[in-house]
Amino acid sequence: MNIEEINLKVLEKSKIIDDILSEVGKVIVGQEYMIRRMLIGLLSNGHILLEGVPGLAKTLAVSTLASTIKADFKRIQFTPDLLPADLVGTLIYNQKSGEFTPKKGPLFANFVLADEINRAPAKVQSALLESMQEKQVTIGDTSYKLPEPFLVMATQNPIEQEGTYPLPEAQVDRFMLKLQVKYPTREEEKVILNRMIRDDKIQVSPIITPDQIIAMRELVKDIYMEPKIQEYILDLVFATREPEKFRNLKDLKNLIDCGASPRATIALARAAKANAFLEHRGYVTPDDIKTVGKDILRHRIILTYEAEAEQIDQEVIVTKLFDEIEVP
| Contact yes or no for 31/181 (Cβ under 8 A) | yes
Superfamily of chain region 27-198: P-loop containing nucleotide triphosphate hydrolases (3.40.50.300)
Q: Give the phi and the psi of residue 111 in degrees, each rounded to 5.
A: -120, 125
Burial 286-299 (b: 16+ CB within 10 A, else e): bebbebbbbbbbbb
* Domain extents in the chain: 27-198, 223-324
Q: Which CATH number among 2.30.30.30, 3.30.360.10, 1.10.8.80, 1.10.150.120 corresponds to the domain 223-324?
A: 1.10.8.80
Half-sphere exposure of 157 (CA within 13 A, CB side): 18
pLDDT digits (tens), the chain, 328 positions? 678 888 888 888 888 898 888 888 888 877 788 889 999 999 998 899 988 777 777 778 888 888 888 888 888 888 888 888 888 888 888 777 777 888 888 888 888 888 888 888 888 888 887 788 888 888 877 888 888 888 888 888 776 666 567 777 777 888 899 988 888 888 888 887 887 777 667 778 888 888 889 999 999 999 999 999 999 999 999 999 988 888 888 888 888 888 888 999 999 999 999 999 999 998 999 999 999 999 999 888 888 888 888 888 888 899 989 988 888 8
Which pLDDT does position 268 carry in this prediction?
Answer: 95
The pTM of the full predicted model, rounded to 2 decimals, is 0.88
Residue ranges of E strands in 230-280 = 256-258
223-324: same fold as 27-198?
no
Instruction: For 213, list phi and psi in degrees, rounded to 5.
Output: -65, -45
Sequence length of the chain is: 328
Give the pLDDT of residue 98. Answer: 78
Residues 262, 295, 66, 212, Cα dihedral to 10°: -50
**Cβ contacts of residue 244 below 8 Å, gap of 6+?**
250, 253
Is 278 within 8 Å of 14 (Cβ atoms)? Answer: yes
